[in-house]
């Protein structure tokens, strides 16, 4: 019998082909990631993807970006509809909303407790993504707060960085008024429809809108009252700030030099550094509440984390990706710190070169090392599930308060609206 | 012409030009923005700048422009065509063949139109997902094809369709569908032109529903891309303005091309 | 008198013309609407809901935020819709005059605002009406105001701003409907009236308005529905940090409240559905009144 070589080869080839196909479908995966802010979150994610796929050439990971509010709308529609088709494998969620999603849609997110070593992440970021002993997030960027200020303008008014080190909000207001008197520029841009100031002040004293059991902690919460009073006092001082509405107006004011500073989360650093004002900026600790027990200079604003969807077909690859890069590659964090100003909550990254470097833009200060120190001091609080509801109730009272309304009545009204909304 | 009527006419013209100025000024602002840097724009600069090329370059680097525009055009053109066909047919039917039952059905449609879309998004999503057509052009277009708004529009305009024309056509032995196609559509072309402008604009600017059904970067429409650019931590307004100008041009062009149609006048056309 | 068979044939023909649209609407609207009707009797947060009877309706009456949204929405309706439609009608009448110079340019210019995409619209208005924006600068240069107006910060001015923004965006749009409809009026009617010595103003009220009645009714009903569903402007122009309707809920509308209840807050799908039925009932009542008024005249 003549051996039909070509055919045999074909068959053999086919067999290899099939096994390769089977093999590749076992490890080649398509992972989809949803996030907002392509220049920040998207860029950091793409850097991580480049590192991962270099070692895993069979996998593709794609970032799809949406406006932040749109992403939340989309995610909520999909989860509420109960259909999993079309959901991404990984999604970015802002920390304030974490508990809302985890509790509203039980089973939708994959617990990562036994996959990720959470001792390597900042505590407060881990606890806000933990429900019933299971942690769901891969903590990404920190929102550790600081006071960014125009050192040149403050110097004109006679203040150097030492004068800003351990100050209260009242002292901050004095400084702001002096800056205005000397330079003609208000200290801050403030949006009275944005409750961010309240959140920063509350957390700096270890308090929040809610108690640990989730009940509202508004009436009779001394920190809440002190924070509201302080914020309103600032809003009642027109020379202290430029009144703005909305994010673009708010960031525009300090980016183009209309105001002398901003107190906000560390993620703003990249934006501030984009302005060609090297050496004219400094970073100081957040001012603290006076006469409040436990008040400090460390707080948080915003920040977000990655979550894995349980329904994702490429879930295992997604987890492996997060574990390998986001929970294992300290060098990666140096890269995104320099590139995007993304300040990770991954503690080993602190040992890296970029985190200890000084920055000429901020007058040669070791800003990242300072942020690291402050981050370690952020009091952990329970963000709960109704943060947006309380924000809305607070800002509804602000115009009346600024016009001289009673704080106690406003707090009672906020409490009543919250009670009504969270039923 | 008397002096007072001359004065009224002058005043009226002045008012019209003022209205036109107020209408157009924000567009000038947008175009000026496209030529400036982000800080110039937030700083309130409203003269033309020199940053147009960098803004455009950055937009083309960040966005797959041909693909995104293809998506938007495809959705807008197909959506306009099918909506016109289905909805004008229905508007004609409701008005020409009036009956008590159909009038009640029509009243019901108006009520349906008043249900806010946010309240229907989730069940609609469930349906499309079950049908397995998520992330397709079809999914974007389909829910809007039978437009109650357009049915209502065509019904109201059909009231002006001269019944003598229809009677004459019936005498000539034309079938009902022939009357619709051969008489109604040509006679009502100013109505169609206005509808076409409105529909193109609606489909081109559609936002919430495309956001929900689209899942990949390749399928995104220009509106979704612009929105995502606008929510950066530090928004680059020069870039956003370039994107806005490009996203607005097609609708302006469509209006320009079609506006002659609806001012020509229908009666002049039939004579 | 038509015999029964032609009547039946006409009826059948009528259904044939509307069938494709009704089929599609049956699929894409009936089910979602029934779902929302069902949901309006459910209470609870997120995916844990249960039958609550009329609990949601009782909640409406005690909800200060809902009452704020309802009164804002009605205020916008009562003030903005008449202003916009009268402006549109005046523009259309003026631009319909073939002797007017620059007609095409004016027409295009006045129509332009409605083609702006949502993002452009909100970015433009926010920057123009900022406290140091071009609008305040102009008003102060012209000595119309001494202090900058706090457009998006003061609850009263925020309402004014929203009314101006909607009018800016939609007056030209409504004008197009009127213009197109004016073309369907036989010019010989005007000619005859002019020969009879009827003055321009009387021609407008005695000929144009009655002839446009169907389209005026159309735009009134549609603008009513549009305003009761007002969402885009108040979700972008007067928004801070992704929550619209500011400052202090002064521009919060029913539709935005539904959106917040569904997507921004801990989701209350049932309660949100109940609020949307409030809109449906309001539209039902108002459209009925509008149709009756149109019939009588």
Superfamily, domain A28-143+302-351: Periplasmic binding protein-like II (3.40.190.10)
Chain segment A353-410, per-residue pLDDT in tens: 999 999 999 999 999 999 999 998 999 888 988 999 999 999 999 999 999 999 999 9
Query: In this predicted structure, what is the pLDDT of residue A175?
Result: 96
CB-based contact B233 A37, cutoff 8 Å: yes
Contact of B75 with B210, CB cutoff 8 Å: yes
Backbone phi, psi, residue C51, to 5°: -65, 130
* Reduced 3-state DSSP string for A179-225: HHHHHCCCCEEECCCCCHHHHHHHHHCCCCCECCCCCECCCCCHHHH
Q: Of the candidates C34, C44, C32, which has an alpha carbon nearest to the alpha carbon of residue C269?
A: C44
Bridge partner residues of A243 (DSSP): A190
What is the Cα–Cα distance from C50 to C176, expressed in whole angstroms?
48
C145-152 long-range contacts, CB within 8 A, separation 24+ = C150/A243, C151/A245, C152/A245, C152/A246, C152/C126, C152/C237, C152/C238, C152/C246, C152/C247
**Does residue B43 sit at the A interface (CB-CB below 8 Å)?**
yes
Of A62, A81, A275, the CB nearest to B39: A275
Q: What confidence tier does A24 reach under pLDDT thresholds 50, 70, 90? A: very low
Q: What confidence tier does C6 reach under pLDDT thresholds 50, 70, 90? A: low
Backbone phi, psi, residue C250, to 5°: -70, -20
Chain segment A56-91, per-residue pLDDT in tens: 998 999 999 988 888 999 998 888 888 888 899 999
Bridge partner residues of A111 (DSSP): none
Q: Which chain A residues are closer than 8 Å to B38 by Cβ?
A: 252, 255
Q: What chain A residue is nearest to C249 in terms of C-alpha separation? A: A396
**Does residue A31 sit at the B interface (CB-CB below 8 Å)?**
no
Q: What confidence tier does A19 reach under pLDDT thresholds 50, 70, 90? A: very low
Q: Which chain A residues are closer than 8 Å to B230 by Cβ?
A: 67
Q: Is the confidence at residue A310, as pLDDT, over 60? A: yes
**Does residue B130 sit at the A interface (CB-CB below 8 Å)?**
yes
Of C47, C153, C249, the CB nearest to A192: C153
Q: Which chain C residues are closer than 8 Å to B262 by Cβ?
A: 176, 179-180, 183
Q: Is the confidence at residue C47, as pLDDT, over 80? A: no
Chain A interface mutation, best of B234, B235, B241, B244, highest count of A Cβ atoms under 10 Å: B234
**Does residue B224 sit at the A interface (CB-CB below 8 Å)?**
yes
Q: Which chain A residues are closer than 8 Å to B212 by Cβ?
A: 73-74, 77
What is the Cα–Cα distance from A210 to B97, expressed in whole angstroms?
62
Of B89, B152, B265, the CB nearest to C17: B89
Of B111, B118, B259, the CB nearest to C108: B259
Question: What is the residue extent of each domain of chain A?
Answer: 28-143+302-351, 145-299+368-421
- The SS3 assignment for C101 reads coil
CB-based contact C222 B237, cutoff 8 Å: no
DSSP code, position A346: B
Q: Which chain C residues are closer than 8 Å to B251 by Cβ?
A: 115
Of C114, C119, C187, the CB nearest to B201: C114
CB-based contact A194 C241, cutoff 8 Å: yes
Q: What chain C residue is nearest to A389 in terms of C-alpha separation? A: C265
Query: In this predicted structure, what is the pLDDT of residue A22?
Result: 40
Q: What chain C residue is nearest to B243 in terms of C-alpha separation? A: C120
Domain span at residue C277? 63-296
CB-based contact A81 B215, cutoff 8 Å: no
CB-based contact C247 A192, cutoff 8 Å: yes
Q: Which residue has the tokens 């197909």?
A: B78
CB-based contact B228 A36, cutoff 8 Å: yes
ipTM of predicted complex:
0.86
Query: In this predicted structure, what is the pLDDT of residue A16?
Result: 41
CB-based contact C241 A104, cutoff 8 Å: no
- Number of residues written out for chain C: 297
Q: What chain A residue is nearest to C149 in terms of C-alpha separation? A: A243
CA distance C238 to chain A (A): 8
What is the Cα–Cα distance from A30 to C210, expressed in whole angstroms?
63
Q: Which chain A residues are closer than 8 Å to B134 by Cβ?
A: 85-86
Top-confidence residue, C149 or C53: C149
Query: In this predicted structure, what is the pLDDT of residue C296?
Result: 58
Chain C interface mutation, best of A396, A398, A417, highest count of C Cβ atoms under 10 Å: A396
Query: In this predicted structure, what is the pLDDT of residue A3?
Result: 38
Per-position pLDDT tens, chain B of length 271: 577 778 888 888 899 999 999 999 999 988 998 998 888 877 777 788 888 999 999 999 988 999 999 999 999 999 999 999 999 999 999 999 988 888 899 988 988 888 888 888 888 998 898 888 889 999 999 999 999 999 999 998 898 888 898 899 999 999 989 999 999 999 888 889 889 998 999 999 998 899 999 989 899 999 999 888 887 777 888 899 999 999 999 998 898 888 777 655 433 333 2
Chain segment A47-57, per-residue pLDDT in tens: 999 999 999 99
- Give mean pLDDT, residues C113-118: 85
Q: Does C109 map to a domain?
A: yes
CA distance C155 to chain B (A): 23
What is the Cα–Cα distance from A15 to A11, expressed in whole angstroms?
6
**Does residue A86 sit at the B interface (CB-CB below 8 Å)?**
yes
List chains adjacent to chain A, taking adjacency as at least 3 C-beta pairs closer than 8 Å: B, C
Q: What confidence tier does C127 reach under pLDDT thresholds 50, 70, 90? A: confident
Q: Which chain C residues are closer than 8 Å to A69 by Cβ?
A: 242, 263-264
Q: Is the confidence at residue A329, as pLDDT, over 90? A: yes
CATH fold label, A145-299+368-421: D-Maltodextrin-Binding Protein; domain 2 (3.40.190)
Share of chain A above pLDDT 70, in %: 93
- Give mean pLDDT, residues A187-211: 95
CA distance C120 to chain B (A): 6
Residue B155 contacts by C-beta under 8 Å, 6 or more apart in sequence?
A: B91, B92, B94, B95, B106
Chain B interface mutation, best of C15, C18, C230, C286, highest count of B Cβ atoms under 10 Å: C18
**Does residue A105 sit at the B interface (CB-CB below 8 Å)?**
no
What is the Cα–Cα distance from A77 to B215, expressed in whole angstroms?
13
Query: In this predicted structure, what is the pLDDT of residue C182?
Result: 85
Q: What confidence tier does A202 reach under pLDDT thresholds 50, 70, 90? A: very high
How crowded is residue A182: how many other Cβ atoms within 10 Å of its Cβ?
Answer: 15
CB-based contact C126 A245, cutoff 8 Å: yes
Q: Which chain B residues are closer than 8 Å to C221 by Cβ?
A: 110, 152
Q: Which chain B residues are closer than 8 Å to C212 by Cβ?
A: none
**Does residue B229 sit at the A interface (CB-CB below 8 Å)?**
yes
Q: What chain A residue is nearest to C58 in terms of C-alpha separation? A: A420
Q: Which chain C residues are closer than 8 Å to B207 by Cβ?
A: 118
CB-based contact A391 C243, cutoff 8 Å: yes
Top-confidence residue, A2 or B33: B33
- Give mean pLDDT, residues C119-137: 86
Give CA A408 to chain center in angstroms.
31
Query: In this predicted structure, what is the pLDDT of residue A25?
Result: 43
**Does residue C183 sit at the B interface (CB-CB below 8 Å)?**
yes
CB-based contact A245 C267, cutoff 8 Å: no
Of A163-172, B141-150, C113-122, C245-254, the range with the lowest mean pLDDT is C113-122
DSSP code, position A287: P
- The SS3 assignment for C253 reads coil
Q: What chain C residue is nearest to B114 in terms of C-alpha separation? A: C280
Q: Which chain C residues are closer than 8 Å to B244 by Cβ?
A: 116-117, 119-120, 123
Q: Are strands A241-243 and A188-190 parallel, antiparallel or unpaired?
A: parallel
Domains defined for chain B, CATH in brackets: 64-221+250-270 (1.10.3720.10)
CATH number at residue C162: 1.10.3720.10
Q: Is the confidence at residue A12, as pLDDT, over 70? A: no
Q: Is the confidence at residue C57, as pLDDT, over 80? A: yes
Query: In this predicted structure, what is the pLDDT of residue C4?
Result: 57
CB-based contact B156 C179, cutoff 8 Å: no
Of B93, B152, B237, the CB nearest to C18: B93
Contact of A175 with A167, CB cutoff 8 Å: yes
What is the Cα–Cα distance from C221 to C286, expressed in whole angstroms?
8
Q: What chain A residue is nearest to B221 in terms of C-alpha separation? A: A66
What is the Cα–Cα distance from C180 to B28, expressed in whole angstroms?
28
């Amino acid at each position: 019998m003549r051996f039909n070589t070509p055919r045999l080869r074909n068959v053999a080839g086919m067999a290899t082909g099939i096994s390769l196909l089977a093999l590749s479908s076992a490890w080649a995966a398509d992972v989809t990631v949803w996030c907002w802010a392509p220049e920040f979150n998207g860029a950091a994610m793409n850097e991580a993807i480049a590192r991962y796929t270099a070692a895993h050439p069979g996998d593709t990971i794609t970032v799809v970006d949406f406006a932040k509010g749109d992403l939340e709308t989309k995610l909520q529609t999909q989860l509420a509809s109960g259909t999993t088709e079309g959901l991404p494998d990984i999604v970015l969620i802002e920390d304030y909303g974490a508990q809302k999603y985890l509790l509203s849609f039980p089973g939708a997110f994959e617990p990562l407790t036994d996959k990720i070593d959470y001792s390597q992440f900042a505590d407060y970021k881990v606890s806000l993504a933990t429900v019933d002993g299971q942690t769901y997030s891969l903590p990404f960027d920190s929102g550790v707060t600081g006071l960014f200020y125009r050192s040149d303008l403050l110097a004109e008014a006679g203040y150097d960085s030492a004068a800003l080190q351990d100050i209260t909000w009242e002292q901050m207001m004095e400084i702001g008024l002096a800056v205005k008197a000397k330079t003609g520029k208000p200290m801050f841009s403030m949006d009275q429809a944005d409750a961010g100031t309240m959140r920063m002040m509350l957390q700096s004293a270890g308090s929040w809108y809610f108690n640990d059991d989730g009940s509202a902690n508004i009436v009779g919460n001394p920190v809440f009252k002190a924070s509201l009073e302080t914020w309103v006092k600032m809003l009642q001082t027109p020379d202290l700030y430029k009144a703005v509405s909305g994010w673009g107006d708010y960031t525009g004011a300090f980016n183009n030099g209309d105001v002398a500073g901003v107190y906000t989360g560390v993620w703003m650093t990249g934006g501030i550094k984009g302005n060609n004002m090297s050496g004219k900026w400094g970073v100081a600790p957040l001012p603290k509440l006076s006469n409040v027990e436990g008040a400090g200079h460390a707080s948080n604003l915003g920040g977000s984390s990655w979550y894995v969807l349980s329904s994702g077909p490429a879930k295992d690859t997604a987890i492996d990706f997060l574990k390998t890069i986001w929970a294992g590659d300290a060098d990666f964090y140096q890269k995104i710190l320099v590139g995007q100003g993304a300040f990770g909550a991954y503690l080993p990254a602190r040992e890296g070169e970029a985190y200890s470097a000084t920055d000429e833009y901020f007058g040669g200060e070791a800003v990242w090392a300072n942020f690291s120190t402050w981050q370690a001091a952020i009091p952990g609080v329970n963000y709960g599930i109704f943060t947006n509801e309380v924000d809305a109730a607070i800002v509804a009272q602000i115009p009346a308060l600024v016009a001289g309304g009673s704080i106690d009545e406003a707090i009672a009204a906020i409490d009543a609206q919250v009670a009504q909304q969270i039923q | 012409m008397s002096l007072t009527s001359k004065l009224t006419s002058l005043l009226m013209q002045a008012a019209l030009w003022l209205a036109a100025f107020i209408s157009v000024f924000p567009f000038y602002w947008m175009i000026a923005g496209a030529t400036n840097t982000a800080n110039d724009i937030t700083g309130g600069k409203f003269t033309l700048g020199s940053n147009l090329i960098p803004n455009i370059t950055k937009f083309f680097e960040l966005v797959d422009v041909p693909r995104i525009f293809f998506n938007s055009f495809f959705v807008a053109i197909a959506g306009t065509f099918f909506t016109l066909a289905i909805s004008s047919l229905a508007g004609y039917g409701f008005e020409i063949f009036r009956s008590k039952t159909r009038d009640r059905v029509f009243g019901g449609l108006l009520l349906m139109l008043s249900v806010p879309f946010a309240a229907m998004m989730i069940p609609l999503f469930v349906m499309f997902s079950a049908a397995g057509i998520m992330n397709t052009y079809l999914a974007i277009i389909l829910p809007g094809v039978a437009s109650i708004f357009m049915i209502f529009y065509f019904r109201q305009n059909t009231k002006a369709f001269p019944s003598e024309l229809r009677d004459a056509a019936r005498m000539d032995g034309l079938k009902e569908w022939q009357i619709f196609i051969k008489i109604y559509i040509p006679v009502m072309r100013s109505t169609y032109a206005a509808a076409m402008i409105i529909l193109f604009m609606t489909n081109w600017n559609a936002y919430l529903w495309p956001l929900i059904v689209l899942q990949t970067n390749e399928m995104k429409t220009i509106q979704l891309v612009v929105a995502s650019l606008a929510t950066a931590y530090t928004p680059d307004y020069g870039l956003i303005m370039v994107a806005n100008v490009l996203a607005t041009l097609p609708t302006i062009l469509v209006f320009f091309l079609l506006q002659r149609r609806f001012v020509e006048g229908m009666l002049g056309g039939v004579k | 008198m038509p015999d029964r068979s032609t009547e039946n044939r006409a009826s059948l023909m009528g259904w044939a013309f509307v069938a494709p649209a009704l089929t599609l609407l049956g699929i894409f609207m009936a089910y979602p609407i029934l779902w929302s009707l069902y949901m309006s009797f459910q209470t609870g947060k997120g995916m844990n809901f249960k039958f609550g009877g009329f609990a949601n309706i009782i909640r409406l009456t005690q909800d200060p935020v809902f009452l704020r949204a309802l009164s804002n929405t009605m205020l916008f309706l009562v003030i903005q819709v008449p202003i916009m439609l009268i402006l549109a009608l005046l523009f259309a009448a003026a631009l319909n005059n073939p002797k007017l110079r620059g007609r095409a340019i004016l027409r295009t210019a006045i129509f332009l605002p409605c083609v702006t995409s949502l993002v452009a619209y909100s970015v433009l208005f926010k920057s123009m009406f900022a406290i140091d924006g071009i609008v305040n600068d102009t008003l102060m240069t012209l000595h119309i105001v001494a202090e900058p107006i706090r457009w998006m910060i003061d609850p009263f001015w925020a309402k004014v701003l929203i009314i101006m923004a909607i009018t800016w965006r939609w007056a030209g749009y409504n004008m197009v409907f009127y213009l197109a409809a004016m073309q369907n009026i036989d010019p010989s009617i005007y000619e005859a009236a002019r020969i009879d010595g009827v003055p321009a103003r009387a021609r407008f009220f005695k000929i144009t308005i009655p002839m446009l009645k169907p389209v005026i009714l159309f735009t009134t009903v549609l603008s009513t529905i549009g305003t009761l569903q007002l969402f885009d402007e108040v979700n972008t122009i007067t928004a801070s940090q992704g929550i619209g309707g500011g400052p202090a809920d002064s521009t919060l509308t029913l539709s935005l409240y539904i959106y917040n209840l569904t997507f921004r807050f801990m989701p209350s799908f049932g309660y949100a559905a109940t609020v949307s039925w409030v809109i449906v009932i309001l539209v039902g009542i108002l459209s009925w009144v509008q149709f009756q008024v149109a019939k009588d005249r």
